[in-house]
């Protein structure tokens, strides 16, 4: 039975609006067949607005219209307002288009909304006129959440619901339930934010990594002067050049020398005065074992830490430390090294790996540490062969994103008036029911690994004794 036949019975009936998709890069091209597979909508009620002709043949093959119109501060209202009406859905998969501007527009028009990250207008990530704090995901998130109207509902708008941020927030909840089961803790599945935070505290979870290892390899290796990656190159470079960010836990004893706190907002996170792509941390995945990852800033580092906070945000009783520890495919690692050597100026060439991938797996999961069992990784291990059997126009990395986008769109359609939400606020079981068929092997693995394991044989290293889960022990200096 093909994937199309297997999931055809799960099509969502009843959506009568129009879907407008902004951006049609690797994620847009990969999510289109999923939306058409699972949502009962005729192709002529979809419209793609994008800034280039890349992938237009994919849209044409599905009978979906494409308008090539780069969106800017000056024209986005005149372009989008005539194409949207109350009850429609705007799926934002673009780069360099302000998510906050689109969120304001859709809330005013009564249009549902979903994005995979909170984007500024073009150049916002790298604007040298802005202080580092203003270029953080923390600042972007606070601006978006400020649009919430307490006590009022509006059209459902789901922020940052890709793989990470997005899917990993649901992984965290399932991992907490697995830990409670495996440690014999009597509990009732939490029904709200405080319940999940209380469960994490009771389990003793101190640190959470979004720990990822991508081993996909193409038939041609990276060449000098090109940036190679398995997902948006512009997106990766923008994120990598932002300050490194992390949710800051209550167990931490030593504040980083290059760290800085925010003056307002949730206070759930801090940032470092250096780019994420220039910051490495020790982490662990079941596929690679111990590894070094880039501490790339992502919204989930802040939202998960915020969601699992107990007490006064200024002096919380409990919060875990949370951050992304990413080992991209080997050619992307080489690309980052070359980028850094050029003082963070993008290479002239770009190559997105897709049909030329010959083998490899993306292991994307969450690593929960500090509890009675040491460390527990839970997540998706998806290889390229399985990916190609499940859905066209995807690699293993993109399918983890596009499945999450599809599930978020369907949940919003079924819950159209819930206002502005983050992934942590959605029901994880319902989201996972839609995503799991596209995620390969869902794996939960315990390990006795700590960031201190095996260190010190080559030279003396400064460590924070007494608690292996201190951030200083993870950081590669």
State pLDDT tens for residues 177-227: 999 999 999 888 999 999 999 999 999 999 999 999 999 999 999 999 999
Q: DSSP secondary-structure letter at 437?
A: G
DSSP class per residue in 34-50: HHHHHB---GGGEEEEE
Q: How far is CA 167 from CA 160, 289, 403, 427, 429, in A?
A: 9, 22, 9, 11, 11
Asked if residue 338 has pLDDT above 70, the reply is yes
Residue 264 CA to residue 152 CA, distance in Å, equals: 24
Q: What is the pLDDT of residue 186?
A: 87
Residue carrying structure tokens 């919204």: 299
Which of 131, 158, 185 marks a domain boundary?
Answer: 158
Q: In terms of Cα–Cα distance, which of 291, 296, 286, 295 is closest to 440? A: 286
**121, 87: one domain:** yes
**129, 234: one domain:** no
Domain membership flag for residue 321: yes
Tell me the mean pLDDT in the region 226-247: 96
Tell me the mean pLDDT in the region 2-19: 64
Q: DSSP secondary-structure letter at 317?
A: S
**Domain containing 104 — which CATH number?**
3.40.50.720
Asked if residue 13 has pLDDT above 60, the reply is no
Q: What is the pLDDT of residue 282?
A: 98
Q: What is the pLDDT of residue 104?
A: 98
Q: Cα-flanking dihedrals φ and ψ of residue 349, to 5°?
A: -105, 150
Which of 130, 158, 186 marks a domain boundary?
Answer: 158
For the question of whether the overall pTM of this predicted structure is more than 0.85, the answer is yes
Domain membership flag for residue 411: no
Q: What is the pLDDT of residue 429?
A: 98
Residue 291 CA to residue 104 CA, distance in Å, equals: 41
**255, 171: one domain:** yes
Torsion of CA 303, 160, 244, 394, to 10 degrees: 140
Which residue range is the domain that position 358 belongs to? 167-396+428-474
Domain membership flag for residue 436: yes
Residue 168 CA to residue 426 CA, distance in Å, equals: 12
Of the two residues 10 and 329, the one the predictor is more confident about is 329
Q: In terms of Cα–Cα distance, which of 226, 48, 3 is closest to 57? A: 48
Domain membership flag for residue 244: yes
Q: Cα-flanking dihedrals φ and ψ of residue 7, to 5°?
A: -105, 5
Q: What is the pLDDT of residue 128?
A: 77
CA end-to-end span of the chain, whole Å?
51
- Total Cβ atoms within 10 A of residue 248: 25
Residue 399 CA to residue 435 CA, distance in Å, equals: 10
Which of 137, 158, 179 marks a domain boundary?
Answer: 158
Residue carrying structure tokens 């058409």: 36
How does pLDDT run across 358-394, given as a tens digit for each residue? 999 999 999 999 999 999 999 999 999 999 999 999 9
Tell me the mean pLDDT in the region 49-68: 96
DSSP class per residue in 278-298: G-EEEEEETTTEEEEEE----
**229, 363: one domain:** yes
**250, 347: one domain:** yes
Tell me the mean pLDDT in the region 112-131: 89
Residue 90 CA to residue 129 CA, distance in Å, equals: 31
**195, 126: one domain:** no
Q: How far is CA 367 from CA 18, 110, 179, 347, in A?
A: 39, 38, 12, 33
Measured at the CA of 472, the angle between CA 469 and CA 474, to 5 degrees, comes to: 60
**Percentage of the chain lying above the pLDDT 90 cut:** 90
Sign of the dihedral through C-alpha 329, 335, 338, 340:
negative
Q: Are 260 and 373 in contact (CB under 8 A)?
A: no
Least confident of 15-19, 347-351, 463-467: 463-467
How does pLDDT run across 421-468, given as a tens digit for each residue? 999 999 999 999 999 999 999 999 999 999 999 887 666 566 776 899
Mean pLDDT of the chain: 95
């Amino acid at each position: 039975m093909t994937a199309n036949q297997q999931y055809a019975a799960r099509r969502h009936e009843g959506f009568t609006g129009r879907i407008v998709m902004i951006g049609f890069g690797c994620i847009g091209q990969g999510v289109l067949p999923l939306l058409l597979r699972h949502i009962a909508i005729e192709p002529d009620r979809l419209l793609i607005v994008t800034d280039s002709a890349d992938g237009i043949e994919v849209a044409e093959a599905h009978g979906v219209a494409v308008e090539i119109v780069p969106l800017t501060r000056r024209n986005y209202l005149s372009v989008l307002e005539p194409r949207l009406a109350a009850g429609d859905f705007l799926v934002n998969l673009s780069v360099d288009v302000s998510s906050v501007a689109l969120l304001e527009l859709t809330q005013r028009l009564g249009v549902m909304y979903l994005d995979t990250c909170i984007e500024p207008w073009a150049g916002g990530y790298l604007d040298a006129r802005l202080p580092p704090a203003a270029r953080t995901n923390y600042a972007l998130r606070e601006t978006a959440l400020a649009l919430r109207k307490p006590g009022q509902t509006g059209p459902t708008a789901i922020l940052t619901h890709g793989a990470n941020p997005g899917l990993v927030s649901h992984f965290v909840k399932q991992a907490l339930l697995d830990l409670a089961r495996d440690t014999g803790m009597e509990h009732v599945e939490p029904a709200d934010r405080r319940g999940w935070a209380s469960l994490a505290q009771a389990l003793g979870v101190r640190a959470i990594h979004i720990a990822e290892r991508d081993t996909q390899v193409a038939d041609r290796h990276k060449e000098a002067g090109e940036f190679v990656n398995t997902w948006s190159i512009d997106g990766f470079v923008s994120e990598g050049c932002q300050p490194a960010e992390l949710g800051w836990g209550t167990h931490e004893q030593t504040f980083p020398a290059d760290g800085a706190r925010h003056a307002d907002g949730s206070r759930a996170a801090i940032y470092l005065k250096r780019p994420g792509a220039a910051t490495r941390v020790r982490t662990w995945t079941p596929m690679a074992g111990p590894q070094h990852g880039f501490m790339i800033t992502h919204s989930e580092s802040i939202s998960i830490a915020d969601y699992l906070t107990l007490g006064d945000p200024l002096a919380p009783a409990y919060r875990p430390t949370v951050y992304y520890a990413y080992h991209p495919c080997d050619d992307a690692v080489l690309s980052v090294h070359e980028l850094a050597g050029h003082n963070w100026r993008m290479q002239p060439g770009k190559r997105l790996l897709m049909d030329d991938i010959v083998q490899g797996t993306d292991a994307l999961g969450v690593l929960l540490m500090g509890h009675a069992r040491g460390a527990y990784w839970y997540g998706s291990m998806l290889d390229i062969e399985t990916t190609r059997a499940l859905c066209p126009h995807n690699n293993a990395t993109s399918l983890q994103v596009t499945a999450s986008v599809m599930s978020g769109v369907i949940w919003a359609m079924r819950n159209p008036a819930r206002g502005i939400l983050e992934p942590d606020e959605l029901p994880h079981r319902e989201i996972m029911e839609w995503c799991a068929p596209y995620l390969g092997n869902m794996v939960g693995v315990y390990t006795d690994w700590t960031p201190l394991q095996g260190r010190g044989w080559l030279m003396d290293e400064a460590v924070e004794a007494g608690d292996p889960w201190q951030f200083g022990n993870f950081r590669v200096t």
